[in-house]
């Protein structure tokens, strides 16, 4: 994907890249996992509906606006968002939360 809107790294470090209504899933492999045991599955592609993209974007805005949902350092119970803007890229580490869970849920549904 050439110009992603955002990348979402889930709590296991699997990556969802979103460009317009397209989703690309890049899972963590056993070789690249910290434990050497975790595997995130197979790479996949999917499509978001505009309604679901709007829901995800609302959750992202909520995370960006809320200091309580952001963390300074990444740990095992954190995800990460990289949001690509025209002028600026924002990178935030996010704690496990309802907002993070909803993003995860919607994006996973596109690839299953």
- CA-nearest of 74, 110, 70 to 90 is 70
Within a domain: 104: yes
- Domain hosting 26: range is 6-111
Which tops the pLDDT comparison, 15 or 95?
Answer: 15
Asked whether residue 78 is domain-assigned, the answer is yes
37 in any annotated domain: yes
Mean pLDDT (whole number) for 80-108: 91
Question: Is pLDDT above 90 for 50?
Answer: yes
In this predicted structure, the answer to whether residue 72 has a pLDDT above a threshold of 80 is: no
| Within a domain: 52 | yes
Q: Give me the residue label for tokens 């975790």.
A: 38
Q: Is the pTM of this model over 0.85?
A: yes
Residue 59, domain member (yes or no): yes
Q: Is residue 11 assigned to a domain?
A: yes
**pLDDT value for 3:** 65
Total tally of structural domains belonging to the chain: 1
How much is the average pLDDT of 73-90? 86
pLDDT at 1: 44
| CA-to-CA separations, 31 to 21, 105, 108, in angstroms, rounded | 30, 26, 22
Average pLDDT over residues 32-58: 90
91's tokens: 């990178």
Average pLDDT over residues 53-64: 91
Which helix H or strand E contains 109, and what residues bound it? helix 98-111
Greater confidence, 3 or 22?
22
Does the residue 50 lie in any domain? yes
């Amino acid at each position: 994907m050439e110009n992603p809107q955002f990348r979402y790294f889930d709590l296991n470090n699997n990556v969802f890249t979103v460009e317009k209504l397209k989703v690309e899933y890049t899972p963590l492999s056993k070789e690249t996992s910290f434990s050497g045991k975790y595997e995130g599955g197979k790479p996949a592609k999917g499509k978001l509906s505009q309604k679901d993209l709007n829901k995800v974007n609302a959750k992202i805005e909520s995370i960006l606006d809320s200091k309580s949902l952001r963390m300074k350092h990444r740990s095992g119970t954190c995800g990460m968002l990289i949001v690509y803007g025209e002028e600026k890229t924002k990178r935030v580490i996010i704690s496990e939360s309802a907002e993070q869970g909803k993003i995860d849920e919607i994006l996973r549904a596109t690839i299953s």
